Amino acid sequence: MANYNPQRIEKKWQDKWEKLGIFQARDKLKKAKFYVLVEFPYPSGEGLHVGHCRSYIAMDVLARKRRMEGFNVLFPIGWDAFGLPTENYAIKTGVAPSLATQKNTDNFRRQAKRLGLSFDWKREINTTDPNYYKWTQWIFLQLFKEGLAYKKKLPVNWCPSCKIVLANEEVINGACERCGAKVTKIEKEQWLLRITKYADRLSDDLAKVDYPGKIKILQKDWIGRSEGAEIEFPIKGSQEKIKVFTTRPDTLFGATYLVLAPEHELISKLSFTNINEIKTYIEKAKNKKEIERIALKKDKTGVELKGVKAINPATKGEIPVWVADYVLSHYGEGSIMSVPAHDERDFQFAKKYGLIIESVVIPSHKGVPREFIDYKKKETVEYWRNRIKLNGPVLIGGIVFNSGKFTGMPSEKAKWEITKFVGGKRKTQYRFRDWIFSRQRYWGEPIPLIFCEKCSWVPVLEKDLPVRLPEIKDYKPTEKGESPLAKVKNWVNVKCPSCRGQAKRETDVMPNWAGSNWYYLRYCDPKNNRKLADPKKIKYWLPVDWYNGGMEHVTLHLLYSRFIFKFLWDIGAIPKNLGSEPYKKRTAHGVILGGDGVKMSKSRGNIINPDKIVEQHSTDAMRLYTMFMGPFGEMIPWDMKGLIGARRFLEKVWRLGNQASNAKGNSLRLKKILHKAIKKVSEDIEVLKFNTAISTLMEFSNTWQQTPLDLSKEDLKDFLKILSPFAPHLTEELWEKSGFTGFCCQQKWPKADLKLIREEKINLIIQINGKVRDKIEINPGISQKEAENAVLKRERVKKWLAGKKIKKIIFVPEKLINIVV
Ligand code: ANZ
Ligand code: ZN
């Protein structure tokens, strides 16, 4: 027997698969399809890291299994190649971003192929390819034409060192994510996309998809829908009014002061006496980060606008007005009514500054003494005032009291009655904002608009798309923070498409989200010149059946791409009979840490290079270990010992496989264990429990090792098949060496013979009203009727049921039976 020589075997099979194109997806519109998607990588100079590998190998295992189950599988890959690292590299070295990208994608492609990933390389895409970004620009134009792209002056995060406007998520602890410089704010004209118009659908349609609860909650929180009211408070001796947004208008009678955000424009229109104090406070607030400002635990600060009084429209009483930075300028109305008795932040603030705390809601809660829920009694008000002062605010709704004619009304009803009473308006508010869609940089898709003095913003004609990114030499943004494209005069100056007069191109480019918004659509038809993709092909392949990616992308990328999908659906660029969600199912993998248990980083020197692993141990060992290292969703440190274990297992399979291929064994014992493994591996892959699937394969090999010649040829085949998604090269080689025909990876996925497995008895748990009362040994696979007959005969069960009527029997096959009486 030849030694296991993975280097030779792996190259051999990779070449064969590629030459025969056996992983190419066919646009066979009649065959059952399965679309497996992984997040396409940003091709950095460092090459693939093991984090990419984990996600890609996992989905490769799934894709390989689906093919063996008879599906027409689309498992594509491409490059999300616009973005800052490549551009910053260009600024530093002068190497054109297009060249660096080419080099990096070549490297990524080589690495991916070496991992035996069964991507359909015929469908490879690259967001920086003009044939691709033509359609990214086309989508932008449609958004513009539908009024969903607009320009607005905004205070934006500004990195004085990179000279770029940063998105909020690029600012880490007040510093630029890329260079670490302290971020300041400047006002800048920006393109925005009106994603907020889709807020309700983005929130509601989550009911239609199979995402983990955790991811749905993240999406919903990001959208942050809340139902409430807009209420106006007149200002004494002034025409001005202060408008607030509140989710608790039922507490209006307890609003004892108002607070304006430091940026509120009304402040400059009010006359107050402590001008300097206010000015100083506002200056300070400007430099604080949002999370610092709203954090519950942080000490709240504020200043009263001395001499200003507002009128509570419900009580008609005068209340003070404060400026405090725990109120944000861009949420709701940028001002609040404070109800310290029923809101945590307001409570802390009122305590600190000695403001009035007036309680107006009795909570509907068990711990309330009976005598203090009589909302009509005087003592009740006293009781709650004192209780709140001691124990803190009552946050939940209940019965409104101490509130004039609304006293005695449930909170939910009082909300809208009180709103009506004071002439307020019902309002739905969203926490997320429109999406800032321009960057003053070079390495992105040019925004396809032209500014003409006469015609204002004019779209580039569709026949003139793509607006190509011109080749330049100097990649640095201008000192004013404009894109370096502003310096390319012969590119900027154009004729207005509408009046043919002198005009100028928009020099901002799109953010790096733009290309990844819709990339999964392009894979359906990557070479199409006339459309972003043929609707027939979209209709066939979409929705994506299973999308896996990082936890860091389940808020923004997921939200943005769902938005763009819905938009394209609305304008008919996507077949209407498709449903309005792009991804049927989404999962997320955990991060791989360095061997030292810390995030991998260059500076720590704990980065694992997949090339080295493959050279030293083999691709199959790398694949197997990456899937075996621990639960797929969890953060796991890299462990070289585990890798060696994987390699040993493969060597063992190599030895056993070589022996068995000459044997004429036929052990029923081995067959049974094998079929258990088939069942377990089949099920575990579906729930991403790769680690337990592999340990099952290992256990089988341990038993097999005791009598290597006992395995029948048929069983050897089945074993190779279920191992092949994990170790495709080794299994292919053993398949061939055993004289079996065809490719192992193209065989039919085996079915576990349940009769074989089911000979042993199993325990069925007996519950009565959900409590475990007994258990019974049964043959697996018995029906509910059979189980009932056996269970109801038992003495213990009879005792429990004596004198009771059976309402219902719930049967979970092979697990439990629950008798409800
Ligand atoms: C009075 C009140 C009484 C409130 C009460 C809450 C509890 P969500 O659920 O997140 O939408 N608020 C409104 N605008 C704000 C702003 N710009 N900055 C900070 N806080 C703001 O939160 C809505 C609630 O947050 C509003 O309801 C308001 O406080 C506060 F017992 O109004 B509430
Ligand atoms: Zn014009």
pTM of the model: 0.85
- Ligand 2 centroid, distance to 448 Cα (angstroms): 15
Q: Determine the pLDDT at residue 371.
A: 67
CATH of domain 760-820: 3.10.20.590
Half-sphere exposure of 683 toward its Cβ, with a 13 Å CA cutoff? 9
Could you report the per-residue pLDDT of 240-262, keeping only the tens digit for each? 999 999 999 999 999 999 999 99
Q: Whose alpha carbon is nearest atom 1 of ligand 1?
A: 246
3-state secondary structure of 54: helix
Question: What six digits make up the tokens of 733?
Answer: 């080689």
Q: Determine the pLDDT at residue 359.
A: 95
Q: Looking at residues 345-361, what average pLDDT do you find?
A: 95
Q: Is the pLDDT of residue 757 over 90?
A: no
Report whether residue 437 contacts ligand 1, using a CB cutoff of 6 Å.
Answer: no
Amino acid (one-letter) located at 269: K
Q: Whose alpha carbon is nearest atom 19 of ligand 1?
A: 327
Report whether residue 411 contacts ligand 1, using a CB cutoff of 6 Å.
Answer: no
Q: Is the pLDDT of residue 814 over 80?
A: no
Atom number in ligand 1 closest to CA 261:
17
Domain with CATH 3.90.740.10 in the chain: 226-429
- Ligand 2 centroid, distance to 128 Cα (angstroms): 29
- CB atoms near residue 754 (< 10 Å): 11
Kindly compute the dihedral angle of the four CA atoms of residues 612, 615, 619, 621, in this order, to the nearest 10 degrees.
Answer: -80
The protein residues having their C-beta less than 5 angstroms from ligand 2 (an ion) are 452, 454-455, 496, 498-499, 501
Q: How far apart are CA 568 and CA 142, in angstroms?
A: 9
Could you report the per-residue pLDDT of 495-534, keeping only the tens digit for each? 999 999 999 999 999 998 899 999 999 999 999 999 999 9
Report whether residue 359 contacts ligand 1, using a CB cutoff of 6 Å.
Answer: no
Q: Which residues, other chains included, contact 693 with Cβ-Cβ below 8 Å and sequence gap of 6+?
A: 627, 680, 681, 684, 685, 726
Nearest ligand atom owner, CA of 295:
1
Q: How far apart are CA 497 and CA 35, in angstroms?
A: 41
Amino acid (one-letter) located at 695: S
Q: Determine the pLDDT at residue 425.
A: 97
> Where are the strands (E) in 376-534, listed by range?
398-400, 425-430, 435-436, 449-452, 456-459, 493-495, 502-505
Q: How far apart are CA 774 and CA 793, in angstroms?
A: 12
CA nearest neighbour of 250 among 63, 42, 408, 58: 408
Domain with CATH 3.40.50.620 in the chain: 6-127+521-589
Q: Is the pLDDT of residue 297 over 90?
A: no
Q: Whose alpha carbon is nearest atom 14 of ligand 1?
A: 332
Q: Is the pLDDT of residue 661 over 80?
A: no
Could you report the per-residue pLDDT of 605-622, keeping only the tens digit for each? 888 999 999 999 999 999
Tell the CATH topology of 226-429.
Answer: Isoleucyl-tRNA Synthetase; domain 2 (3.90.740)
What is the chain's mean pLDDT, rounded?
93
Q: Looking at residues 39-47, what average pLDDT do you find?
A: 94
- Ligand 1 centroid, distance to 212 Cα (angstroms): 29
Pick the CATH number of 6-127+521-589 from 3.30.70.1290, 3.30.70.360, 3.40.50.620, 3.30.70.1250: 3.40.50.620
Q: Determine the pLDDT at residue 477.
A: 82
Sign of the CA dihedral running 237, 243, 248, 250? positive
Q: How far apart are CA 267 and CA 286, in angstroms?
A: 15
Nearest ligand atom owner, CA of 451:
2
Q: Whose alpha carbon is nearest atom 2 of ligand 1?
A: 248
Per-residue pLDDT band for 786 (boundaries 50, 70, 90) equals confident
Report whether residue 343 contacts ligand 1, using a CB cutoff of 6 Å.
Answer: yes
- Ligand 1 centroid, distance to 323 Cα (angstroms): 15
Per-residue pLDDT band for 296 (boundaries 50, 70, 90) equals low
Q: In whole angstroms, how far apart are CA 781 and each of 638, 672, 679, 784, 786?
A: 41, 16, 15, 9, 10
Q: Determine the pLDDT at residue 322.
A: 98
Nearest ligand atom owner, CA of 419:
1
Per-residue pLDDT band for 187 (boundaries 50, 70, 90) equals confident
Percent of the chain topping pLDDT 90: 73
Distance between first and last Cα of the chain: 66
The string over 571-598, giving b where at least 16 C-beta atoms fall within 10 Å of a residue's C-beta and e elsewhere, is eebbeeeebebbbbebbbbbbbbbeeee
- Ligand 1 centroid, distance to 166 Cα (angstroms): 28
CA nearest neighbour of 123 among 467, 521, 466, 444: 521
Report whether residue 256 contacts ligand 1, using a CB cutoff of 6 Å.
Answer: no
Atom number in ligand 1 closest to CA 329:
17
Question: What six digits make up the tokens of 275?
Answer: 């001008």
Per-residue pLDDT band for 691 (boundaries 50, 70, 90) equals very high
Q: Is the pLDDT of residue 480 over 90?
A: no
Q: Are 691 and 629 in contact (CB under 8 A)?
A: yes
Could you report the per-residue pLDDT of 543-565, keeping only the tens digit for each? 999 999 999 899 899 999 999 99
Q: Looking at residues 462-472, what average pLDDT do you find?
A: 96
Q: Determine the pLDDT at residue 365.
A: 67
Domain with CATH 3.10.20.590 in the chain: 760-820
Domain with CATH 1.10.730.10 in the chain: 640-756
Question: What six digits make up the tokens of 493?
Answer: 């100056």
Residue labelled with tokens 């038992």: 794
Q: Whose alpha carbon is nearest atom 25 of ligand 1?
A: 246
Report whether residue 625 contacts ligand 1, using a CB cutoff of 6 Å.
Answer: no
CA nearest neighbour of 591 among 52, 40, 32: 52
Nearest ligand atom owner, CA of 428:
1
- Ligand 1 centroid, distance to 318 Cα (angstroms): 21
Report whether residue 393 contacts ligand 1, using a CB cutoff of 6 Å.
Answer: no
Amino acid (one-letter) located at 19: K
Q: Whose alpha carbon is nearest atom 11 of ligand 1?
A: 226
Q: Looking at residues 678-692, what average pLDDT do you find?
A: 97
Report whether residue 226 contacts ligand 1, using a CB cutoff of 6 Å.
Answer: yes
Q: Are 525 and 536 in contact (CB under 8 A)?
A: no
Kindly indicate whether the domain formed by 640-756 is annotated with CATH number 1.10.730.10.
yes
Nearest ligand atom owner, CA of 504:
2
